[in-house]
Amino acid sequence: MGEWARSTFNRGRPAGTTLTSRSVEGFVTATLVFCIGPMGILGSLQDGLGQGNDQLIVKAILDGFTALALSASFGFAVAGGAAVVLVYQGLLTVLGWWLGGLLPPAELNVLDATGGIILMALGLRLAGIARLAVAEMVPALVLAPVGVVIVGLVT
């Protein structure tokens, strides 16, 4: 996607004003940093479920400072990651809204508890207390509600 954007924006531009491969690297790096992680997933789902947008606000502040640092290295192309984040988190918010009307309270409660555990693990990792593989915990957001359904069917 980054290479496509570079070739599209460079079409018809004078030689000194074209985007470089470094710009593409900045766009890809920013997109990955802003989109990968439990705060964006959990925050968007909680916002869609009507539980508030506090996590998204904290994530936006952290992403803003990260964007400043990345822009110093990669330039303006880092701002392109904002469009990807808008689509990504918007779709997750819509998914949360849809799940809120679809899932019973037991599945929503286990989803909320699982998200809390993942956020706690992220906090421990950021504080340097424990080296936990937080990204590997994200599939639990799908598995936990499925586990509640299976337990409900068995009992």
Q: Please say if the pLDDT value at position 143 is more than 90.
A: yes
Average pLDDT in the 26-48 region? 78
Judged by DSSP in three states, 75 sits in coil
Predicted local distance difference test score (pLDDT) of residue 20: 58
Higher pLDDT, 38 or 142: 142
Contacts 24+ apart (CB under 8 A), 50-53: 50/97, 50/100, 51/112
Q: Tell me the one-letter amino acid at 101.
A: G
Question: Residues of the chain with pLDDT > 70: what percent?
Answer: 84
Taking only the tens place, the pLDDT of each residue in 78-113 is: 888 888 888 988 998 998 888 777 878 888 888 878
Predicted local distance difference test score (pLDDT) of residue 123: 79
Give the pLDDT band (50/70/90) at residue 21: low
Average pLDDT in the 131-145 region? 85
Predicted local distance difference test score (pLDDT) of residue 17: 52
Query: Residue 91 and residue 94: Cα distance in Å, rounded?
Result: 5
Mean pLDDT of the chain: 80
Taking only the tens place, the pLDDT of each residue in 59-81 is: 889 889 988 988 888 787 788 88
Q: Is the pTM of this model over 0.75?
A: no
Predicted local distance difference test score (pLDDT) of residue 90: 92
φ and ψ at residue 141, rounded to 5 degrees: -65, -25
Predicted local distance difference test score (pLDDT) of residue 91: 92
